[in-house]
Amino acid sequence: MHYSSFLNYINKYIDLTEKEIAFLRSNTNYKKYLKGHYIVQQGAVCKHTNFIISGCTKNFYVDQQGQEHIVTFAIENWWSADLSSFITQTPSDFNVKCIEATEVIQFTYQNQDEIFQNIPKMETLFRKLLEKALVSSQKRIVNNFSLSAKDQYLYFKKQFSTIEQRVPQYMVASYLGITKEFLSKIKTELAKD
């Protein structure tokens, strides 16, 4: 069943009783998106937090010049949403789009609230996930400041080699905040060694 990979994931961090599992199941739902489809669109409210069972998404922002800036990728066993829009339930500045066909377990703001109230362990888990996400977000800011584009690329490669193999190169460039032309240049330079 679709839920098993979700429950396996949860199980790595906390122990749930049968009752709690049933409660979780009744407060989430499964959804499948096709490649290229949007889970969240700029201007719309982000209704769900999504746990990815399979597939790959990008969370990105389109600036005034029409340029796309990728904030995060997400693959199996990661969470994907526009957090800002989700927690405030106001229109989003970001898009979440499927780079591959993507299966998710999703829950609404209300679902989340009820889950936290009924299964406090779940709130603890989320608190810890947020802590980790904030740490890596801050790490990214520091890298932006202190590493050259080349070193940032190498860091990305090391950290997310699976993702690099699944997304087109111009998206990696967008994630790194450089042009696709410059990333291409960096790669040919690196290949010389």
Q: Which residues bind DNA (CB under 7 A)?
A: 148-150, 168-170, 177-185, 187-188
User: Rounded to whole angstroms, how far apart are CA atoms 81 and 89?
Assistant: 12
Stretches 6-14, 23-31, 62-70, 152-160: which one binds a second copy (CB under 8 A)? Answer: 62-70
How many whole angstroms separate alpha carbon 76 and alpha carbon 69? Answer: 22
Binding status of residue 90 toward a second copy by CB under 8 A = no
Q: Quick check: 86 and 8 in contact, CB under 8 A? A: no
Question: Could you say which of a second copy, DNA, none residue 14 binds, taking C-beta under 5 to 8 angstroms by partner kind?
Answer: none
Q: Is the dihedral of CA 182, 162, 155, 96 positive or negative?
A: positive
Q: Tell me the window of 21-29, 50-58, 139-147, 154-162 that interacts with a second copy (CB under 8 A).
A: 139-147
- For DNA, the closer of residues 19 and 69 by Cβ is 69
Distance CA 149, CA 30 (A): 39
When asked if residue 4 is in the footprint of a second copy (CB under 8 A), the reply is: no
Residue (of 89, 38, 79, 31) closest to 62 by Cα position:
38
CB of 122 to a second copy, least distance (A): 11
When CB distances are held under 5 to 8 angstroms depending on the partner's kind, the choice from DNA, a second copy, none that residue 61 binds is a second copy
Residue 50 structure tokens: 């999504």
Minimum CB separation from DNA for residue 117, in Å? 43
- Give yes or no for a contact between 91 and 43, defined as CB atoms under 8 angstroms apart: yes
Backbone φ and ψ for 62, nearest 5 degrees, come out as -105, 120
By CB under 8 A, is residue 158 in contact with a second copy? no
User: At its nearest, how many Å lie between DNA and the CB of residue 103?
Assistant: 19
Assess contact for 156 and 164: CB atoms under 8 A.
Answer: yes
* Sole window of 28-36, 40-48, 117-125, 157-165 interacting with a second copy (rule: CB under 8 A): 117-125
In Å, the largest CA–CA distance within the chain is 58
Residues that bind a second copy (CB under 8 A): 61, 63, 67, 69, 71-72, 83-84, 87, 116, 120, 123-124, 126-128, 130-135, 137-142, 144-146, 177
